[in-house]
Amino acid sequence: MADTELTTLLGVLNSQRAHVLSIVEGLDEEALRRPVLPSGWTCLGLVHHLALDDEKFWFRAVVSGEPAAIAEILEVEENAWQPAPEKSAEEVFALYRRESELADALLAGADLEAAPGWWPDFFGNWRYDNVREVILHVITETAAHVGHLDAVRELIDGRQRLVVP
């Protein structure tokens, strides 16, 4: 990866990904599946959402146009925010790591100016014009969810990433 901008973008994204996993580290299955906010989402559901609706959707489907990823996205009726009860936390975390690794591999030589390989019809006329915009979107989405996880982790067991005096 000789491209400094791409290296920087992926470095920031990987930092946010690491924060996602570190903030849920040490929570047991019950805590990971416990809804804390009125919306009902859970820490495990949020990590599952990031794996499927962000990493897989935006990188494997939109950026690369990978037919298998597109088919899975269009055909699967699973709610990414609610992993199946039989899916363990470790399976969800492994899925997130795997989708992140697949995304990194396909982005390693990406042209930031390239148009997305696929664009879903369900977005209508709105679209990102290039790979850079997609990466920036995923960084923003991941960082926003990191903040959600930080707040919810504090509500669950009092753990704070940054101690406020």
CA 123 to chain centre: 19
pLDDT for the residue numbered 26: 94
Q: Is 88 left (phi over 0), alpha (psi -120 to 50) or beta?
A: beta
| Residues 61/69, Cβ–Cβ less than 8 Å | yes
| Residues 48/75, Cβ–Cβ less than 8 Å | no
pTM of the model: 0.93
- The mean pLDDT values, 10 residues at a time, for the chain of 165 residues are 83 97 95 93 97 97 97 88 95 98 95 96 93 98 96 87 57
Three-state DSSP state, 39: coil
CA 128, CA 141: separation in Å to the nearest integer?
15
